[in-house]
Amino acid sequence: MTDTESANVQTARRYLEAISRGAPWDEMAAFFTEDVVQEEFPNRLVPGGARRTLCELEEANARGRAVITAQRYDVRNAVASGDHVALEVLWTGTLAVPFGSLPAGGDMVAHFGVFLEFRDGRIATQRNYDCFEPF
């Protein structure tokens, strides 16, 4: 792995760790370029998928904090090629409110494929393929 690839993987891991510990938005925003685009492909929570700008990522972050009391990202695999990083992640979120068959305090689990493109050490694009376990 090149130095750039290694640095990008480390940044990707720090990004997920920051989300996990509930970092404030100004810290989270520093991971992204100003023109970042995050795309979430259709899944059980977002059936129509979503495409978000930096401002919309901030709004989604705030919405998530209202329904999730804690979350963990277990990176199962990370692959880098140039400015691209692919992550296989097991996500667990503890719910603040009941959702589907899960009670408040219950855990929602998903298997994520996260594909990041970096520019100057920051995330310029993010594509998520989220597969949720039954809830």
**pLDDT tens across 57-110, in order?**
999 999 998 999 999 999 999 999 999 999 999 999 999 999 999 999 999 999
Residue 8's pLDDT is what?
Answer: 98
Instruction: Give the residue from 60, 26, 21, 58 showing the smallest Cα distance to 40.
Output: 60
What is the rounded average pLDDT of the residues 22-33? 96
Query: Which strand ranges, in their side-by-side order, compose the sheet holding 122-132?
Result: 50-52, 32-40, 122-132, 107-119, 84-95, 68-81
Domain spans in the chain, listed from the N-terminal domain onward: 3-132
Q: If you search the block for the tokens 């891991």, which residue do you land on?
A: 13
The model carries a pTM of: 0.95
Q: Which CATH class is domain 3-132?
A: alpha beta
